[in-house]
Structure 1
Amino acid sequence: MTALRVLIVDDEPLARARLARQLQSLDNCELVGEAGDAEAALAQVAQRDPDLVLLDIEMPGDHGLNLARRLAAREYPPAMIFCTAHDEFALAAFSTDAVGYLLKPVSAEQLGEAIAKVQRLGGVQRRLLEREEKAQTGRSRIKAISRRGVELLDIGAIRCFVADSKYVVAHHDGGETILDESLKELESEFGERFVRVHRNALVAVEYISGLSRDCGNYRVELDGVAERPLVSRRLLPSVRALLEELV
């Protein structure tokens, strides 16, 4: 059986360490990352593509419930189990399609039972199969040539692709890199993760944080980069509709 890829999201390092130790004793579970807040969690989800997220509710910045709603809106959302010290959010938590709500301190037995429930869910099983198929056929990194030589860019780190003259520039958490691929090719391959906002720009849905107005035009705000791609008038309604879904 394919191992369940797990991400832990909690602002308390000791709580993360406790859950990580408990995961080690469970069969068919693999810890693929940790995050201390919602924005870091979203970045980890985009990069690591976990099958299950164990998440706290009260954290600095965005609330755990809001994070859960954003995760649930993904095309292939991970399963979610809340691990929290607060019992008053249970009803709201299950409205996000969470499959479990555990109160701290979480015991190894409780965690094991909740994860066993996740592993029995048909949707998760289909997702594991889809992940295996994608691993065989799709790229997780893009090759680029720069002054430093050949670079491999993680797709999960890229915020947007912007066409500039005869090149396409990938804006990512490490800077900017020129690619020798067309926007059309990139959209065809990565259309599930990137949306076209202009004839010269694709943006990563996961990192969209809002729209801003600039001299009568609209630009997409993206987490982690200064680049703000222009939104065409034709595509503005669809971009606005996407933002409504992400809220």
Structure 2
Amino acid sequence: MTASDPQRILIADDEPLARERLARLVDRLDGYRVCGESGDGHATLRAVAELEPDILLLDIRMPGMDGMEVAEKLSALTHPPAIIFCTAYDHYAINAFEVQAAAYLLKPVRREALADALGRAGRINRVQLQALQVRSEASEDQLAVRTHRGTELIELAAILYCEADQKCVTIHHSQGETVTDFTLKELEQAYPEQLLRIHRQTLVGVRHIQALLRDDDGHYRIRLRQQDTELPVSRRHATAVRQKLSPG
């Protein structure tokens, strides 16, 4: 799939009218097209295998295998579709994010909410998509970044930290700096073992951390092994950072 191709969407819901309504909403949005529909869990798994959609609009309460079970099975795939739950019940939300759903929408789904969710789902999938597109060049230890020069391969082990500024993210690595339109959240979700969130605007390469420092006012900073760089740790992330870096 090229950058200009529309994202392929599979709609899974046991109610025909609900499927029709979602299909109409998708048709009104640029950059997406419905590639198929299914009415129960087992049919959804078959459709995913056959059609290979980019995004799955998935109901939760369906006969037989429900949407949560479908999501759990799909999570085992090498390249699963991004999942957006569309349901009339709000009490499944926590479970939805446990299976790494991109979004959770309540029926009746609004066009604006769907457009936002589809955009987020597409961005999350781009990390996987780019890795597939450059598989012949890149390994699991490399990040493929699209720049104005083409595809730039960055060794994950070389990433010192990633810093968000306005609408872009700058990846600081041992060879220099690379600007990407990936968000910090996308990078954090794709590489949770290599990149640690220390601030709303910062991820840090775990292997480059030299020390976690605390000043007299109780503020934490991360000191990197290279460049004598120190990065602030926000109060919100301080506990998680301490737990991640604590011995054992």
Q: TM-score, normalised by structure 1?
A: 0.51
How has the CA–CA distance of structure 1 residues 18 and 129 changed in structure 2, closer, same or farther, with 3 Å as cutoff? farther
What is the 5 A alignment of 1:1-80?
A: 1=3, 2-80=5-83
Mapped contact 1:9–1:56 kept (Cα < 8 A): yes
Match of 1:124 among 123, 126, 129: 126
Query: How far apart are the structure 2 equivalents of 1:75 and 1:120?
Result: 17
Query: How far apart are the structure 2 equivalents of 1:9 and 1:132?
Result: 31
Partner amino acid, structure 2, of 1:38: G
Higher relative contact order, structure no. (Cα contacts within 8 Å, ≥ 6 residues apart): 1
How has the CA–CA distance of structure 1 residues 129 and 51 changed in structure 2, closer, same or farther, with 3 Å as cutoff? farther
The alpha carbon displacement at 1:133 in A equals 9.0
Match of 2:98 among 90, 95, 98: 95
The alpha carbon displacement at 1:73 in A equals 1.1
How has the CA–CA distance of structure 1 residues 115 and 88 changed in structure 2, closer, same or farther, with 3 Å as cutoff? same
What is the 5 A alignment of 1:1-247?
A: 1=3, 2-121=5-124, 123-124=125-126, 126-127=128-129, 130=132
The structure number with the bigger radius of gyration is: 2
How has the CA–CA distance of structure 1 residues 131 and 13 changed in structure 2, closer, same or farther, with 3 Å as cutoff? farther
Query: How far apart are the structure 1 equivalents of 2:25 and 2:99?
Result: 25
Partner amino acid, structure 2, of 1:115: L
The alpha carbon displacement at 1:28 in A equals 1.1
Q: TM-score, normalised by structure 2?
A: 0.51
RMSD, aligned α-carbons: 2.0
The alpha carbon displacement at 1:65 in A equals 0.3
How has the CA–CA distance of structure 1 residues 91 and 41 changed in structure 2, closer, same or farther, with 3 Å as cutoff? same
The alpha carbon displacement at 1:26 in A equals 1.0
Q: Secondary structure at the match of 1:88?
A: helix
Unaligned runs of 5+ in 2: 137-248
Mapped contact 1:51–1:128 kept (Cα < 8 A): no
| Cα shift readout 1:40-96 (whole Å, capped 9, x = no counterpart) | 101100100001000000010011101010111111111000000010110001100
Mapped contact 2:10–2:53 kept (Cα < 8 A): yes
Query: How far apart are the structure 1 equivalents of 2:91 and 2:122?
Result: 27
Q: Secondary structure at the match of 2:65?
A: coil
